Structure 1
Amino acid sequence: MEIYRVLHSESLSCFIPQFVRLEGSGGNRIISTVRCSTFLRSIVSMELENDCILPNIINPDGLFFPQSIRLSRIQITLNRFGDCVRLLIELGTQLCSFAVSIAHVYLQKADIISQISSISCPNLKQLTVTIYKNIVHYSECIVPLLQRLSNVERLTLLFAINITTTRLGHFVTELDLEKDIVSYMPHLCQFNFHIRSILENASPVEIGTFRQSVMTCQQAVICTVDYFNNNYGQCQLYSLPFIGNRLDFISNRFPLFDMNNMFSMVTMLLLFDDVKPFENLFFARIARALPNIKTLEVFNKLEQQGKGMIATSYPDFSRLSALILLDIHMDYAEQLLCQSR
């Protein structure tokens, strides 16, 4: 629990979702049997549960789906970046739609980078990559992988990137997306993204410096930069309309409230601020702006300043199913447990 608290607050690292692992269980044996079955020879499309990580390969040929000769559309969650590389190599030319969530992205083995050059997916037109836990090696892993998939026409990226551990050295901007990704995909016609980049000892920058490039796909883009007392800065870069269902490390300074209900489909929210406390009005406005929240996590140890004032409205989180109050001032427990309906 202490490790969770320290990493959470000091490096803006997200620990949700917590994926289900099937190694050593009966479910693992069942899935392993099914994915090696000749039944899969006729399967064209496959969708696996997002919260369940595909077990490690146990068949001798090292293939994820050795019998899936027609599989062209797949939605899957993998444990490591290397698993994604190997699966793309395996499916190759038969793949036309690929949606993958990856739990961990870091250079576990040096040969993974050399394997990226073996990826050939000329028929892959639709790609979605979701990585909510901080990417450790973005420039070394993610960028070269995406550059290999040059025929993609519809791209969705949902990333959290620890810039401190990469070669980039600055927040991810529109210019970086254009230079490192879009320019390698000449057929790209739709690009949706939400990129949360985190940088230690970040120097304050003007948002205007991020407006030096016009994305090829010509969609509206919003950039929000925030700085915390823990010496970390964070940049949220996202296309419009907003396509994610979660927002992480949102402070009092994030422009969450707008007349267009931009974030109305968000179901998971992590609030964090070590600069200013969250007051009653803030929670009430969140409840109105984000009516579909199911998971709310609060991380703020600062005492509320307006708790003695008579509240004119109380937060109504009617759809909330999970409330996480790990490292907070007791004011927030009283606020959310005693006043919320």
Structure 2
Amino acid sequence: MSYLERLDLYIQFGNNTTIIDGNYLKRKIINANTLRNLQEFRFSITSRISSPVQLNLPSTKDIEQTFTHFKSKNIISCVDYFPERKEGQYHIYSYPYETKYYNDITNKFPGGIYEYVREVSLFDEKPFEHEFFLQIQKSFPFMEILSVKNKKAQNHKESNENLSLIQYSFLRELHIYNVHDDYIEEFLSDKKTSLSRNVNLNIKYESLERVTNNFTREDTRINCRKVDKLYVCKGSKRCNFLEEYFPSAKIIERSRF
């Protein structure tokens, strides 16, 4: 391994007690001889660490400085703290980013273009606003699978006239079963979003019923007609108008998501 000239490293640590940064890699994974010969280092490292207070967490600048001896031109890092979970999250990676997955994106997402990414997941304890989703669509133009987890209501529900329509041209799977109703409206209203045809939708039936006003709402009808497969929880008491509202969809019950 001492003569290695290129190294691709993609790792994720959960429930960790140590921050995985450049210093850790030099101590535990990449020895000094390898580091001297290394000409190209592409990586993505995500680590989560329990911390009762945010003040104990290092800054993005602190983490990036630990990679100064690595052969990577552009390094991007994100540091988040989730007070409800009492957990810190670190994601540091070389850019351009060449993996197919980008997980647990928060409101601190730094932007950029990620043309290799096909699967994206979003999570935060703070609300996602419409402009955030617009940025996600622009940053991941070939995204095929999107999962959203956010229980916080949006703060800025602007009038429809002021919104830029978001088009998800390649999206084939949308998972919005663990979200506030605002995000269901965000994706189903044709005033805010244009879904691709033949998309698979994973959602809680009760939330869907509320947002569509018992399957009578007009501005959510167009996107619902584009759904190819609708996944709902098994045992949900279904309205007679569900099939009419999703005329192209095969409705599939799942025991859990």
> How far apart are the structure 2 equivalents of 1:285 and 1:197?
24
2:6 to 135, 154, 159: 154
> How far apart are the structure 2 equivalents of 1:218 and 1:195?
14
Aligned to 2:172: 321
Deviations 1:124-165 (A, max 9, x none): xxxxxxxxxxxxxxxxxxxxxxxxx5443321111111252x
Contact 1:207 1:225 in 2 (8 A): yes
1:220 Cα shift?
A: 2.7
State the AA in 1 paired with 2:61.
Answer: G
Identity %: 29
> How far apart are the structure 2 equivalents of 1:163 and 1:187?
33
**Equivalenced residues, count:** 184
Contact 2:40 2:72 in 1 (8 A): no
> How far apart are the structure 1 equivalents of 2:143 and 2:168?
7
Please, what TM-score do these two structures have when normalized by structure 1?
Answer: 0.50
SS at match of 1:235: strand
Give matches, 1:177-326, under 5 Å: 177-183=25-31, 185=34, 187-201=37-51, 203-210=56-63, 211-229=65-83, 230-256=85-111, 258=112, 261=113, 263-274=114-125, 276-310=126-160, 311-326=162-177
**Richer in strand (by share):** 2
SS at match of 1:227: strand
Give matches, 1:76-225, under 5 Å: 149-164=1-16, 169-183=17-31, 185=34, 187-201=37-51, 203-210=56-63, 211-225=65-79
1:280 Cα shift?
A: 1.3
Aligned to 1:33: none
SS at match of 1:177: helix
State the 4+ residue runs in structure 1 displaced beyond 6 angstroms: none
Go from structure 1 to structure 2 and tell me whether the alpha carbon gap of 1:219 and 1:285 turns closer, same or farther (over 3 Å shift): closer
Moved more, 292-301 or 213-222: 213-222
> How far apart are the structure 2 equivalents of 1:234 and 1:304?
23
Deviations 1:258-295 (A, max 9, x none): 4xx3x233211100011x21111211222122211111
Matched, 1:338 2:186: no
> How far apart are the structure 1 equivalents of 2:97 and 2:163?
31
SS at match of 2:120: strand
SS at match of 2:184: helix
1:309 Cα shift?
A: 2.6
CA RMSD between the two structures:
2.1
Deviations 1:157-176 (A, max 9, x none): 11111252xxxx33211222
Go from structure 1 to structure 2 and tell me whether the alpha carbon gap of 1:316 and 1:218 turns closer, same or farther (over 3 Å shift): closer
State the AA in 1 paired with 2:88.
Answer: G
SS at match of 1:221: strand
SS at match of 1:287: helix
Consecutive unaligned residues in structure 2, runs of 5 or more: 195-257
Consecutive unaligned residues in structure 1, runs of 5 or more: 1-148
